[in-house]
């Protein structure tokens, strides 16, 4: 099976991302317990619980280049506001993080300019921004970022 892993700085597994035969992305913890799924439906990515009976969050792009993470009741949790340099991660109209992207490199910074994450790998700025979605678990963040970066899901 294909997919990926989210590792901590010491190399320990935080989450496994396993591409299932039905096109969904299974999220497991370090002990291989299923902790959720990411699926795609009509261009919307959905974060589902481990039993796949409930949609916890939905991620969708808007026509203006912004993106939204909403709860299953439709309320907005986060907005990615598109900028010339990347995105601003907003919650309740407050800027939490900024994503700066330049020539395939990107970084996630707090609103006071502290770098939280940086990558030299080619990754979509929106995928970096998802690591600023604090209400998601690390496995959900990694799964959503992976799903954004691949058409396989």
Helices (H) and strands (E) in the chain, counts: 2, 12
Percent of the chain beyond pLDDT 90? 71
CB 25 within 8 A of CB 37: yes
* pLDDT, tens only, 87-113: 999 998 788 999 988 876 789 999 898
Based on the number of CB atoms within 10 Å of its own CB, is 136 exposed (0-12), middle (13-18) or buried (19 or more)? buried
* pLDDT, tens only, 32-84: 999 999 999 988 999 999 999 999 999 999 999 999 999 999 999 999 999 98
Q: Give pLDDT, residue 121.
A: 79
What six digits make up the tokens of 40? Answer: 């795609």
**At residue 118, does pLDDT exceed 90?**
no
**At residue 152, does pLDDT exceed 60?**
no
**Which residue pairs from 105-111 have beta carbons closer than 8 angstroms and sit at least 24 positions apart in sequence?**
108/132
pTM: 0.90
| DSSP-assigned beta bridge partners for residue 17 | 4, 27
| Mean per-residue pLDDT, 135-150 | 93
What are the residues whose beta carbons fall under 8 Å from the beta carbon of 12, sequence distance 6 or more? 30
Based on the number of CB atoms within 10 Å of its own CB, is 123 exposed (0-12), middle (13-18) or buried (19 or more)? middle
Closest CA to 141 of 105, 97, 82, 86: 97
**At residue 1, does pLDDT exceed 70?**
no
Q: Give pLDDT, residue 63.
A: 93
């Amino acid at each position: 099976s294909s997919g990926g892993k989210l590792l901590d700085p010491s190399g320990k597994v935080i989450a496994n991302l396993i591409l299932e035969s039905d096109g969904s992305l299974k999220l497991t913890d370090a002990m291989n317990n299923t902790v959720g799924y990411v699926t795609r439906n009509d261009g919307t990515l959905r974060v589902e619980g481990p039993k796949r009976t409930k949609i916890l969050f939905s991620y969708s792009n808007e026509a203006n280049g912004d993106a939204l993470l909403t709860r299953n009741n439709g309320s907005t949790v986060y907005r990615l506001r598109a900028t010339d340099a990347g995105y601003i991660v907003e919650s309740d109209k407050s800027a939490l993080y900024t994503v700066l992207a330049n020539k395939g490199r990107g970084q996630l910074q707090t609103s006071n300019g502290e770098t939280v994450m940086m990558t030299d790998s080619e990754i979509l700025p929106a995928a970096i921004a998802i690591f600023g979605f604090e209400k998601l678990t690390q496995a959900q963040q990694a799964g959503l970022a992976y799903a954004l970066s691949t058409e396989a899901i």
